Amino acid sequence: MDRINDIFDKMDNWRNLPKYQLERRSDLFFAIYLKEVVEAKFGILLKDQIIPEFPIHKKTIKLASSGEESCNVDFVAFANDNSKCFFEELKTDNASKRDKQDKYLADAKSVGLKPFILSLKNIFLATKQKQKYFNLFKMLDEVGVVTLDPKLQIKLFSSHRQGASELIRGIDCEICELNEINIVYILPGRTKASVKLSQGNNTIIYFEEFSELISEDDDAITNRFRQSLKKWSETVAGDLAYHSDT
């Protein structure tokens, strides 16, 4: 328990420093509970697989005119029947919210789930990190979103990759074009910006509600995470009074 407290105490304190990115350290703890929180919020069952740092093809949302670059959404999850997809964006500091990011998430939603998934093949074909992108598509295959030819794995993980590009181009998306993308923001607390987001057909889950939606497991990590969620929701990062109390 002392080690657990030490982890969260450090995050509680270090979030007050200029260059410390709490989101990148705490995202794993949010991910542990994300499935049950979103299920409770929407009244829907999700696949077990949560995909972090999910790429968004920039050209598809008109953020670029050339190249096959991507921006990212923190987490993606799929409903059990693949009728819905959830783009989940975590902010541990309200000041880190960016209008540009809000726009590209909205643009991705307007494109639709099937075209969005298929657009990732362009990055897969262009990237030098083909094995990593194969693992991403393998996860999508496991949740029933795409279908991969078994020969693709053999080609990409051997020294003979001839024919791999044709197999990548042949990846098909198994979901309906009408299946919807839902954008979910996980934020510390209510601000004018967050109220504006909620008016744009987005779902906001504030840290206080996130804590309440976690099942009542009486384990050390859950209890200690709840304590930090409360601190992070009540106090702005860098606040002197908060820092001096710890």
Q: Which domains does the chain have, with CATH numbers?
A: 29-112+179-206 (3.40.1350.10)
Residue in this structure with the two tokens 């009408």, named with its chain if needed: 178
Q: For 218-235, what is each residue's pLDDT tens digit?
A: 789 999 999 999 999 998
pLDDT at 64: 76
The rounded percent of the chain whose pLDDT value lies above 90 is: 65
Lowest mean pLDDT across 45-54, 105-114, 141-150? 105-114
What confidence category does residue 55 fall into, taking pLDDT thresholds of 50, 70 and 90? very high
- Segments of the chain assigned E as strands: 51-57, 70-78, 84-90, 146-147, 172-173, 180-187, 203-206
Interhelix angle for 22-42 vs 220-234, to 10°? 100
- The answer to whether the CB of 156 falls within 8 A of the CB of 135 is no
Nearest CA to 147 out of 163, 115, 171 is that of 171
The pLDDT of residue 88: 96
pLDDT, residue 177, reads 72
Average pLDDT score, the chain:
89
Give φ, ψ of 168 to 5 degrees. Answer: -65, -45
Amino acid at 102: D
Determine the pLDDT at residue 242. Answer: 53
Taking 90 as the threshold, does the pLDDT of residue 156 lie above it? yes
Report residue 63 as tokens.
Answer: 């953020």
pLDDT tens, 111-155? 888 888 999 999 999 999 999 999 999 999 999 999 999 999 999
DSSP single-letter state for residue 128:
S
Residues 6+ apart with CB under 8 A from 124: 130, 133, 134, 137, 168, 171
pLDDT above 90: residue 180: no
Alpha-carbon gap, residue 189 to 185, rounded angstroms: 11
